[in-house]
């Protein structure tokens, strides 16, 4: 195997490895995803050899054995203090040519070997990842593969056009995500990342349906040569250590872009001022601009984002995007999804969309601050992604009118994740902290309500309208002395629950905080019994005028 005979740093591309620190790395396997089920330890055949979907590292690092192609040494950023010095001594891997160097080693090359004043384009999303000055300088990005510098004798690398397209998308993504100290003009088109349609977002890529959201293809390690059949031969890869940048450069291998990750915007310092064409800065600081932007809607913000690079960056501020609405979009494109992730909304409406399970999983894994999620009218197939998603901040979940949701499906969502160890913390379901749950139109029975009492005990608003199986016993359950919801419920929607009879009405007086009870379209309820409930004086519910018992269809 030729790649193993190459010394590290001699052009052998390095496989990335887990950071072991990110949230994904430190969690346990879900035991339930496609790849877990394949694992021998979970009773599978062990053929796929992939990491648990929930354990996909979000910051894959270079292996410890990686060294600089130029000096042959490892990363040495720990030996210095300043940011700039650290950068010069860190190992950077180019997403295009895959070469790993110390940026400092590049700078100290004789000037005749340097690439003018070209700067690398740093990809802040992935550690030690950039587009090296040479690739940047030569425009070796989306359009052309990196030609062998010394016109090596090797065969041209076949680059099928789909891969080329992916490369272009990848390049765009890198430009959009880059957080380079603005010395380079190589990313001038990155300002155009917001599109003209207002609420729809188009910018960097998200994997969408692709490849389970696997990590970005770094260069691989040349193992493609181990297969018979067609393969991309890499000429000149055994070249001398110091051949770069003069020697035959490894031809580019378009990375397999469908696997790259898009993460929340890094906490990189934002420019605080707006540079003007005249060279000076606009007197208003960023904070003032943000206060202006806060008065704009999504459409206007997207327009602002096309004004200039600085505005574009400022407008990603998540304070400007507390809620995002993608409802009723038949298909969600990768740019839309990554646009959401970059804006980190607190509330996201995906109702009646064709969001897929993978897309939802991808999103939720990257929206850890999400407080409100609306998925009404989506398919259970997709929504089941909630079953293995981390939802630490979730307060509102809307699952109305999802087809095929019965007790067993809701159970999946309510029960604690399978990897929660009994002694770890107390076993907590995902919806423990949820205050508002909308379950209208689902085929739930009292079995689900019992689970709700146990695993969603903090509900203040519950929508069970048009749940055909909800009847008097359900109200008994909800208002029983043992029910935690008896104390917490403020809003309860039971509209269209035909099985409810007058007998259940007095039970609602057990809920001291109940302020709004929707009993519209409950055929068996008599106006008289409802009137008696409504007239119930203190300490019963519905005391204030704005607190209502809704009885009739308005």
Partner DNA sequence: AGTAACGTCTGT
Partner DNA sequence: ACAGACGTTACT
Residues near DNA (CB under 7 A) are 1, 3-4, 8, 14-18, 29, 34, 38, 41, 45, 47-52, 55-57, 60, 63-66, 162, 208-212, 214-224, 226-232, 253, 255-256, 258-259
Give the 3-state secondary structure of residue 131: strand
Q: In the bound complex, what is the minimum distance in angstroms from residue 39's beta carbon to DNA?
A: 7
Of the pair 263, 282, the CB lying nearest DNA is at 263
**Nearest-angstrom CA–CA distance, 84 and 77:** 10
Burial 70-79 (b: 16+ CB within 10 A, else e): bbeebbbbee
CB of 3 to DNA, least distance (A): 4
How far, in Å, CA of 414 to CA of 431, rounded?
6
Q: Closer to DNA at the Cβ: 229 or 539? A: 229
Query: Residue 203 in contact with residue 43, Cβ under 8 Å?
Result: no
CB of 49 to DNA, least distance (A): 3
Minimum CB–partner distance for residue 241 and DNA (Å): 17
β-strand partners of 17: 61
SS3 content of the chain, % helix, strand, coil (to 5): 30, 10, 60
Residue 76, sorted as left (phi over 0), alpha (psi -120 to 50) or beta, turns out to be alpha
- Of 331 and 526, the one with the shorter C-beta distance to DNA is 331
> Which residues, in sequence order, are CB contacts of 64 under 8 Å at separation 6+?
74
| Minimum distance, C-beta of residue 67 to DNA, in the bound complex (Å) | 11
Q: Closest CB to DNA among 255 and 298?
A: 255
**Alpha carbon of 467 to those of 39, 480, 500: distances in Å?**
39, 20, 11
CB closer to DNA out of 16 and 438: 16
Cα torsion angle, 241, 17, 367, 361, sign: positive
Indicate the residue among 25 and 529 with the shorter CB distance to DNA. Answer: 25
Q: How many CB atoms lie within 10 A of CB 180?
A: 19
Supply the minimum distance, in Å, between the C-beta of residue 350 and DNA: 19
Whole-number Å distance between alpha carbons of 52 and 255: 22
**Helix/strand/coil (H, E, C) string of 189-254?**
HHHHHCCCCCCCCCCCCCCCCHHHHCCCCCCCCCHHHHCCCCCCCCCCCCCCHHHCCCCCCCCCCC
Q: How far is the CB of 146 from DNA (least distance, A)?
A: 14
**Chain position carrying tokens 């740019």:** 335
To DNA, the closest distance from the beta carbon of 43 in angstroms equals 13
Whole-angstrom Cα distance, residue 429 to residue 323? 25
Q: Count of alpha carbons within 13 Å of 89, Cβ hemisphere only?
A: 12
Residue 290, number of CB atoms within 10 A of its CB: 15
CB of 216 to DNA, least distance (A): 7
Specify the residue, 234 or 286, whose C-beta has the smaller distance to DNA: 234
Q: 3 or 175: whose CB is closer to DNA?
A: 3
How far is 554 from 538, CA to CA, in rounded Å?
26
- CB 295 → DNA: shortest distance, Å? 39
Q: What is the dihedral of CA 50, 55, 57, 58, to 10 degrees?
A: 130
Q: How far is the CB of 27 from DNA (least distance, A)?
A: 10
Q: Which helix (H) or strand (E) holds 167?
A: helix 161-177
Q: Which is nearer to DNA, 250 or 496 (CB)?
A: 250
Distance separating alpha carbons of residues 184 and 136, to the nearest angstrom? 9
- Longest distance between any two alpha carbons in the chain, whole Å: 94
Q: How far is the CB of 218 from DNA (least distance, A)?
A: 4
| 15 vs 299, beta carbon nearer DNA | 15
């059949």: which residue's tokens?
A: 229
Tell me if 3 sits within 8 A of 12, measured CB to CB: yes
- By beta-carbon proximity to DNA, the closer residue of 225 and 325 is 225
Min dist. Cβ of residue 44 to DNA (A): 9
- In terms of Cβ atoms closer than 10 Å to its own Cβ (0-12, 13-18, 19+), residue 15 is middle
> For DNA, which is the closer residue by CB, 226 or 526?
226
Nearer to DNA, 65 or 108 (CB): 65
What six digits make up the tokens of 265?
A: 């915007």
- Which of 231, 523 has the CB closer to DNA? 231
Token pair, residue 311, equals: 């505005």
Least distance to DNA, CB of residue 156, Å: 15
**Alpha-carbon gap, residue 202 to 283, rounded angstroms:** 30
């Amino acid at each position: 195997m030729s790649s193993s005979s190459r010394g590290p740093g001699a052009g052998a591309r390095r496989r990335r490895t887990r950071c072991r620190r990110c949230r994904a790395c430190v969690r346990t396997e879900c035991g339930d995803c496609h790849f877990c089920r394949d694992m021998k330890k979970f009773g599978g055949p062990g053929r796929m050899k992939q990491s648990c979907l929930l354990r996909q590292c979000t910051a894959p690092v270079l292996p410890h054995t990686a060294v600089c192609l130029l000096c042959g040494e490892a990363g040495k950023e720990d030996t210095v203090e300043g940011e700039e010095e650290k950068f010069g001594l860190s190992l950077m891997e180019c997403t295009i040519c895959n070469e790993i160097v110390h940026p400092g080693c590049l700078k100290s090359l004789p000037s005749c070997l340097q690439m003018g004043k070209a700067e690398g384009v740093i990809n802040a999303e992935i550690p030690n990842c950039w587009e090296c000055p040479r690739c940047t300088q030569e425009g070796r990005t989306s359009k052309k593969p990196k030609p062998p510098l010394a016109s090596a004798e090797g065969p041209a690398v076949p680059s099928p056009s789909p891969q080329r397209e992916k490369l272009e998308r990848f390049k765009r993504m890198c430009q959009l995500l880059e957080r380079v100290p603005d010395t380079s003009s190589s990313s001038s088109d990155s300002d155009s990342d917001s599109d003209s349609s207002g609420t729809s977002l188009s910018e960097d890529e998200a994997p969408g349906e692709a490849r389970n959201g696997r990590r970005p293809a770094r260069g691989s390690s040349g193992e493609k040569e181990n297969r018979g059949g067609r393969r991309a031969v890499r000429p000149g890869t055994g070249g001398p250590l110091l051949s770069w940048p003069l020697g035959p450069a490894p031809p580019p291998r378009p990375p397999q872009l469908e696997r790259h990750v898009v993460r929340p915007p890094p906490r990189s310092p934002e420019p605080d001022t707006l540079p003007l064409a005249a060279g000076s800065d606009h007197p208003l600081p960023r904070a003032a601009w943000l206060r202006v932007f806060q008065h704009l809607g999504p459409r206007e913000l997207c327009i602002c984002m096309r004004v200039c690079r600085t505005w574009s960056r400022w407008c990603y501020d998540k304070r400007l995007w507390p809620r995002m609405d993608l409802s009723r979009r038949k298909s969600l494109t990768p740019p839309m999804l990554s646009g959401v992730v970059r804006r980190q909304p607190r509330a996201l409406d995906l109702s009646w969309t064709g969001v897929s399970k993978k897309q939802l999983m991808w999103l939720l894994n990257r929206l850890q601050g999400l407080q409100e999620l609306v998925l009404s009218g989506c398919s259970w197939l997709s929504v089941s992604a909630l079953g293995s998603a981390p939802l630490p901040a979730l307060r509102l979940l809307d699952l109305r009118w999802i087809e095929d949701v019965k007790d067993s499906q809701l159970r999946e969502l309510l029960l604690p994740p399978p990897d929660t160890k009994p002694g770890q913390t107390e076993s907590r379901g995902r919806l423990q902290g949820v205050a508002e749950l909308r379950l209208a139109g689902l085929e739930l029975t009292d079995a689900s309500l019992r689970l709700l009492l146990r695993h969603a005990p903090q509900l203040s608003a519950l929508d069970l309208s048009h749940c055909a199986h909800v009847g008097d016993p359900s109200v008994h359950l909800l208002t029983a002395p043992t029910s935690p919801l008896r104390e917490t419920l403020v809003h309860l929607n039971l509209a269209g629950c035909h099985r409810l009879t007058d007998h259940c009405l007095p039970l609602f007086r057990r809920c001291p905080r109940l302020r709004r009870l929707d009993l519209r379209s409950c055929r068996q309820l008599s106006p008289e019994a409802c009137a008696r409930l409504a007239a119930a004086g203190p300490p019963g519910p519905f005391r204030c005028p704005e607190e209502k018992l809704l009885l009739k269809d308005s």
